[in-house]
Amino acid sequence: MSLDLPNPIGAYFAAKNAHDIDAMLAPFAEDAHVRDEGRDYNGHAAIRAWMEETTRKYRVTVTPEEITTDGARLTIRALVSGDFPGSPAYLTYRFVGIGDRITDLEIG
């Protein structure tokens, strides 16, 4: 299924599937926040380190399948495949953005 994703989120997933760290980071605001695997990452430097670590460790590809919105929050249910136990698995990506930048991402 192909979803019509907002530009910064579509760019993030395309870069994630290409394992391109610079392009993955580009849609995030300088002071963005990410929460993944129970840990928080604040700002570009911390988010880049998280992206480098998880890309090297899991080598995932993501296929967004469902999208819902609730005010400023956009939630995407995606099939994630990679080098991790239980792959493939469905994960939920919760995005908040301002303009063309992602300001908050929670993965669960």
Which residues have C-beta within 8 Å of that of residue 80, sequence separation ≥ 6?
Answer: 60, 61, 62, 63, 87, 88, 89, 90, 91
pLDDT digits (tens, 9 = 90+) for 5-49: 999 999 999 999 999 999 999 999 999 999 999 999 999 999 999
Give the start-to-end residue ranges of the domains of the chain: 7-107
pLDDT digits (tens, 9 = 90+) for 69-89: 998 899 999 999 999 999 999
Predicted confidence at residue 72, as pLDDT, reads 87
Predicted structure pTM score: 0.94
Complete DSSP assignment for 32-90: EEEEETTEEEEHHHHHHHHHHHHHHHH--EEEEEEEEEETTEEEEEEEEESSSTT-SEE
- CATH class, domain 7-107, is alpha beta
In contact, 76 and 62? CB cutoff 8 Å: no
- Report DSSP state, residue 95: E
Predicted confidence at residue 11, as pLDDT, reads 96
